[in-house]
Amino acid sequence: GQQLNQSPQSMFIQEGEDVSMNCTSSSIFNTWLWYKQDPGEGPVLLIALYKAGELTSNGRLTAQFGITRKDSFLNISASIPSDVGIYFCAGTRSVTTQGGSEKLVFGKGTKLTVNP
Amino acid sequence: ETGVTQSPTHLIKTRGQQVTLRCSSQSGHNTVSWYQQALGQGPQFIFQYYREEENGRGNFPPRFSGLQFPNYSSELNVNALELDDSALYLCASSYTQGASSYEQYFGPGTRLTVT
C-alpha cells in the first residue's frame, strides 16, 4: 500500500538534545498529522496541521505543513526519556470522490531512543 | 469523555478460521476507520464506516468486512484467515459533518496471531 517516506528510520540521542524528523510524498495531502506509538498501544495524536505553511506547537513539539503540501517535519526540543517511542507522520486523503470522510496514509515511522 | 476502546486485546486463531473484532468509538464521534499494522510498519487503511455504511476501502480483499451500529460502534470481520493476517488491528474514531472530517483518534488495538 501507499506510504509516505519518513526519515530517519531510527534515532539515538542523549537526553536534552533536540530531535528533527520529516516526511515527504510525491502526492499532496489535505492535512498532515503526527502520532506517537508506544509498544503494544495505539497511536496517540500529537499535532494536526491543516494549511500549507502552517507551523504549530504543542509543548516541546513543533511541526510544519510544507508549502507544497507534500511534506512535513516534526521537531522535539530538549528531549526527555518519556519521548521514547515510534513517531508516525500521516497525511489525509478523501475516502470517496464525494469528499468528506478521510483516510490516513502513514509513513513507516521513526524509532526514537533517548539515553538518560 | 470516553476514549476509543477495542476488544479483545489479543487473540490467537488458526488459519482458515473467522474472527470478529470490536470497537467502541469516542463519545461524540460518528465515524470509525479500521487499520492493519504489520510488525515494523505504519498502519494501513482497511475501510471506514459512516452512517452505518462502508464509506471507502483500502486494498484489502472482500474477506475483510465490517459493520457499524446505530451507536457508532463497529465490528471488523475477517474470514478464511491467512498467516499474513497476523497484525495489530487498530480502530480510529472521528467526527464527520458534511464535507468536513476531523482528526482520527485510535484505540489500543487488537493483536491477532494466526497460526
Region B82-86: mean pLDDT is 98
Determine the Cα–Cα distance for residues A2 and A62; give it in Å rounded to an integer: 26
What is the model's pLDDT at position B102? 76
Determine the Cα–Cα distance for residues A82 and B14; give it in Å rounded to an integer: 37
Determine the Cα–Cα distance for residues A5 and B16; give it in Å rounded to an integer: 34
Of A4, A42, A103, the CB nearest to B109: A42
User: What letters, b where the CB count within 10 A reaches 16 and e where it falls short, cover A20-36?
Assistant: ebbbbbeeebebbbbbb
Q: How far is B11 from chain A (nearest CA, A)?
A: 14
Per-residue pLDDT band for A113 (boundaries 50, 70, 90) equals very high
Percent of chain A whose predicted confidence (pLDDT) is above 70: 91
Q: How far is B40 from chain A (nearest CA, A)?
A: 7
What is the model's pLDDT at position B108? 96
Burial of B44 (0-12, 13-18, 19+ CB in 10 A): buried
Q: Pick from A22, A106, A94, A105: which is nearest to A64 by CA?
A: A22
What is the model's pLDDT at position B97? 81
What is the model's pLDDT at position B105? 94
For B108, nearest residue in chain A (alpha carbons) = A42
Of A1, A3, A104, the CB nearest to B104: A104
According to DSSP, the residues that pair with B1 across neighbouring strands are none
Mean pLDDT of chain B: 94
Determine the Cα–Cα distance for residues A58 and A61; give it in Å rounded to an integer: 5
